[in-house]
Chain A
Amino acid sequence: MNANSEIYSLNVNGETHQIRDSWVGESLLYVLRERLNLPGTKGACEQGECGSCTVIMDGQAVCSCLVMAATAIDSEIQTVESLASDNCLTEVQDAFVTEGGVQCGFCTPGLVVAIEHLLSQNPDPSEIEIKEAISGNICRCTGYGRIFEAVDKAVAVRKAKTV
Chain B
Amino acid sequence: MVEINFNHRKPTDVIALRKIDELKLVKIDNKNSQITIGAGLPYQQMEHGEIAQYLPALAQAARTVGSPQIRSAGSIGGNLGTCSPAGDALPVLSALNATVNLQSADSSRSIAIHDFMVGVKRNARKQGEIIVSTTLPIVSGWQGYAKVGVRNAMVISVASCCLVIDRLSGTIAVALGAVGPTIIRCRETESWLATQIDLKTKTNVSPKLLQEFGTRIANESKPIDDHRSTAAYRRHAVAVLARRLLIRANTL
- Residues of A with Cβ closer than 8 Å to B? 1-3, 24-25, 27, 46-49, 51, 54, 60-63, 65-68, 70-75, 114, 132-133, 135-138
- Residues of B with Cβ closer than 8 Å to A? 1-2, 4-6, 9-14, 16-19, 42, 44, 66-70, 72-73, 152-154
Contact B67 A136 (CB under 8 A): yes
Contact A25 B18 (CB under 8 A): no
Provide a sorted-by-A list of 20 A–B residue pairs whose CB atoms are within 8 angstroms: A1-B14, A25-B4, A27-B4, A27-B5, A46-B6, A49-B154, A61-B72, A63-B69, A67-B1, A70-B16, A71-B16, A71-B17, A74-B19, A75-B19, A135-B68, A135-B153, A136-B66, A136-B67, A136-B69, A136-B154
Contact B68 A65 (CB under 8 A): no
Minimum CB distance partner of A54 in chain B? B69
Minimum CB distance partner of A65 in chain B? B5
Contact B14 A24 (CB under 8 A): yes
Which of A1, A2, A71, A132 is the one whose CB lies under 8 Å from B18? A71
User: Within 8 Å CB of A63, what residues of B?
Assistant: 69-70, 73
Contact B153 A136 (CB under 8 A): yes
Contact A24 B11 (CB under 8 A): yes
Contact B11 A46 (CB under 8 A): no
- Nearest-neighbour CB distance to chain A for B4, whole angstroms, equals 5
Minimum CB distance partner of B5 in chain A? A46
User: Within 8 Å CB of A72, what residues of B?
Assistant: 18
- Nearest-neighbour CB distance to chain A for B76, whole angstroms, equals 16
Q: How far is the CA of A68 from the CA of B176 in the complex (A)?
A: 32
Contact A65 B1 (CB under 8 A): yes
Which of B10, B16, B42, B152 is the one whose CB lies under 8 Å from A25? B10
**Given A48-B70, A49-B154, A133-B68, are A68 and B14 neighbors across the interface (CB < 8 Å)?**
yes
User: Within 8 Å CB of A60, what residues of B?
Assistant: 42, 44, 72-73
Which of B16, B44, B67 is the one whose CB lies under 8 Å from A73? B16
Which of B18, B19, B44, B154 is the one whose CB lies under 8 Å from A135? B154
Q: How far is the CA of A24 from the CA of B2 in the complex (A)?
A: 14
